[in-house]
Amino acid sequence: MKELLKQTENLLKLRNYSPKTAKSYLLYIKQYLIFSKNKDFKNKKEAVEKFLLGKIENKNSPQTVNLALNSVKFFYREILKDNEEINLKFFKKSKKLPVVLTREEIKNIVLVSLLPMLEV
């Protein structure tokens, strides 16, 4: 396992992945290898699905689950040279709108904060 992780680390460096991305990929690949080694799966698709379901059950964010999926895909495609497609769809990001104030709301906040100074 250490040799595969070292090979993955070298390839990520050669491909100029950012250090944080490389660190994350290596973390999830290591977790996946430990996970799949301890279980008996029929095929890799089942193993990947169960691995990702574990991430979801641990209440990881959709972005985290996507990163884990991309890490495992990279490992199979680039390190193991496995041409069999991992045909899983990416998880949707949550659709939260950012809180943005209108110009009028900002003006009111500034006026309210200035009122005590103007009353003197």
Question: Structural domain boundaries of the chain?
Answer: 2-95
Flag whether the pTM goes above 0.95.
no
Q: What is the pLDDT of residues 45-78, one digit of tens each?
A: 888 888 998 998 898 888 898 999 999 999 988 8
- Joined tokens for residue 1: 């396992």
| Whether pLDDT at 93 is above 80 | no
**Distance (Å, rounded) from C-alpha 73 to C-alpha 29?**
9
Which tokens hold the place of 32? 């996946």
Q: Give the integer Cα–Cα distance in Å for 83 and 80.
A: 9
Residue 120 has pLDDT above 80, yes or no: no
pLDDT: is 116 or 19 the higher one? 19
pLDDT tens column, 8-22: 999 999 999 999 999
Other CB atoms closer than 10 Å to residue 12's CB: what's the count? 19
Q: Buried b / exposed e across 105-116, counting CB within 10 Å, b at 16+?
A: eeeeeeeeeeee
pLDDT at residue 39, rounded to an integer: 77
24 contacts: CB under 8 Å, gap ≥ 6: 67, 71
Tokens 């799949």 found at: 36
Q: Domain 2-95 is of which CATH architecture?
A: Orthogonal Bundle (1.10)
Q: In this predicted structure, what is the pLDDT of residue 91?
A: 67
Task: Kindly report the average pLDDT of the chain as a whole number.
Answer: 85
Residue carrying the six token digits 């460096």: 13
